[in-house]
Amino acid sequence: MEMSFTILPHGHIENDLAWNVAVPFPASVDNRNPGAEWASVPSFSVLIKHSELGYLLYDTGSCPGDEAGRLPEYPGKYFPFYAKRDEFLDKRLESLGLTPNDISTVIVSHMHWDHSGGLTFFKNTKAGKNVYVHKDDFSYGLTVTHQSPETFAGGGYFKQNFEFEGLTFNLIEEDEPLGEGLEIVTLEGHTPGILGLVAHLKSGVYIFPSDAVYTARNYGPPDAVPGIIYDTLGFKRSIAKLRRLEKRYNATLVFPHDGEQFKTLKCCPYFYE
């Protein structure tokens, strides 16, 4: 079995750092008004090339238009998203000589807008019939968006992202292998359910926890709870599970929104092998 992966950057999001790390600069008697820090965090997906499974995609980035008014006022004001048209998924694949039709499987870590928007490119494709999502996250997001009169609800779910045509969602509840050297791990905390991914390459093992752990600062030790969180105890359980996996495999964690780590990563067209 041969496997490699490449990182596909999809622009960046800006926001108050306190959303990523709760109370990053607590006030004190000596500094009663420490102020806020405006952060810039990456958005990306991971393209996996597997000798038996073909091309698989972990996360999809955003939907074109999210950078130009598709997002409602609330996320657009507090989480502005910046991307050029050639940074969206279809163009990133094109730069590698691929199209969405070349992808066999899509694993969506969770259905928040910046991870699921690229599903729009998979109408009437093989991968569109083979989309993996966490059952708890999908159920929660579907409920809050379709009970709300707004198009954006639940802190990060976009109603339209559940309504892209021609998609079949496989609902995952437990850890499961995708194929030799590649496994889905279920996590929690950020939303009711997250699909993480473990890739066993010749060069080492890589773990992608998605937003279960935003950054190395959240991971610690000591771990630091994010400001955006569905379940703090679930976050703690995810940290413990990831630490067990990291120790078992001597693995490298690749965090989804860590600007400092992202500077050290090699992106497409480079493939980790």
Q: Which single residue is written with the structure tokens 């992106």?
A: 267
Q: Across residues 154-182, what is the average pLDDT?
A: 95
pLDDT reported for residue 71 = 82
185: pLDDT strictly greater than 90: yes
R_g of the chain computed on alpha carbons: 18
pLDDT reported for residue 73 = 84
Residue 83's Cβ-side half-sphere holds a number of Cα atoms within 13 Å equal to 29
Query: pLDDT band at residue 72, thresholds of 50, 70 and 90?
Result: confident
Query: pLDDT band at residue 17, thresholds of 50, 70 and 90?
Result: very high
pLDDT reported for residue 66 = 87
Query: pLDDT band at residue 195, thresholds of 50, 70 and 90?
Result: very high
**Over the stretch 109-128, which tens digit does the pLDDT of each residue have?**
999 999 999 999 999 999 99
Q: Is the peptide bond before 24 cis (omega within 30 degrees of 0)?
A: no
Mean pLDDT of the chain: 96
> Is the pTM here over 0.85, yes or no?
yes
- Set out the domains of the chain in order of their start, with CATH numbers: 3-19+38-264 (3.60.15.10)
**Over the stretch 92-106, which tens digit does the pLDDT of each residue have?**
999 999 999 999 999
Q: Across residues 217-241, what is the average pLDDT?
A: 97
Question: Buried (b) or exposed (e) across 1-20, using 16+ Cβ within 10 A?
Answer: eebbbbbbbbbbbebebbbb
Q: Across residues 82-86, what is the average pLDDT?
A: 96
pLDDT reported for residue 68 = 79
pLDDT reported for residue 14 = 97
Beta strand extents in the chain (DSSP E only): 3-16, 38-50, 54-58, 81-82, 103-107, 131-134, 152-153, 157-158, 169-172, 176-179, 182-187, 194-201, 204-208, 252-253
- Would you say the C-alpha torsion 17, 22, 25, 30 has a positive or negative sign? positive
